[in-house]
Amino acid sequence: MNEFLVKNPIFSTAEVRCFLSARGTTGSRSAEAWLAYYQKNGYIVRIKQGLYATVPQNADPNTFTPDAFLLASRMSSDAVLVYHTALEFHGRAYSVHRRLTYQTASPPRALSFRDWQFQPVRVPSPLQRKGKVDFGVIKVNRSGVKIPVASLERTLVDVLHRPIYSGSWEEIWRSLESIEFFDIEQVIEYTLLLENATTAAKVGFFLEQHKEELMVDDKHLAPLRSLRPKQPHYFTRGKKKSGQWVKDWNLVVPDEILNRSWAEII
């Protein structure tokens, strides 16, 4: 199998062009011809326009599914694994989802491949405005490839900020509670960057609820309290479900979270 394919489990047309150019073969064998040959012979599969995956030896190209995390990280040139997908990548998700979410500044366009769904989400506007798009983004090795993923600190805030991309509150709470340590200073810094009162209150509520386990001090909670809503806000935007008002954070917290209903023995 071609040396390029061995080193590149997921690759773009542009990368093939660079590879051929380095070998001085662009004149006689274009990237398009190269791709057509290897796809016809079952060495590669097309994911979408301009993006391909290498098929391992003895695998069926008609059913082969590449590493989903690698695929998500290449869905756009600036893709970052975020929300529940970041929890899964770090091995901290309570359950596995078939939808992978990635952050990008490119126009959002969802894609399905095999039985996986790839969901793009916009970069939060405060991060774009402040030039902090990469705050809390780390690069982690995956099958020999460095891929960008949100840190656990950023993910804690993200899943509370936009729970729609992370599942039920049980899923979110159980996932976050499986993490033994956070850099609390980074959690606070990222929360403040988002400039969202409800998010600040939700993060503050979670940290206070786990104050002892996570070694949270009042000094950590103070800046979050200063940003909390002036009027009571619901945990989930637009969903006024039953809950209790937590005065300290001016939040109406769902009963399932306060009572941890998922932990009840039936």
HSE (side-chain half, CA atoms, 13 Å) at 82 = 27
Neighbours of 33 (CB within 10 A): 11
Q: What is the pTM of this model?
A: 0.91
Q: Which of 129, 122, 126, 184 is nearest to 157 (CA)?
A: 184
pLDDT at position 238 is: 64
CB neighbours (10 Å) of residue 41? 10
- What's the pLDDT tens digit per position in 27-54? 546 888 889 999 999 999 999 999 999 9
From residue 116, how far is each of 156, 196, 201 by CA, in Å?
24, 32, 34
- According to the model, what pLDDT value does residue 266 have? 45
For residue 163, how many other CB atoms are within 10 A of its CB?
20
Give strand pairing partners of 206. none
pLDDT at residue 144, rounded to an integer? 84
**pLDDT, position 239:** 62
Angle at the Cα of 50 from the Cα atoms of 44 and 23, rounded to 5 degrees = 70
- What residue ranges of the chain have pLDDT lower than 70? 1, 26-29, 238-241, 264-266
Q: Would you state the pLDDT for residue 28?
A: 46
For 82-98, how does the pLDDT look when each residue is reduced to its tens digit (9 = 90+)?
999 999 999 999 999 99
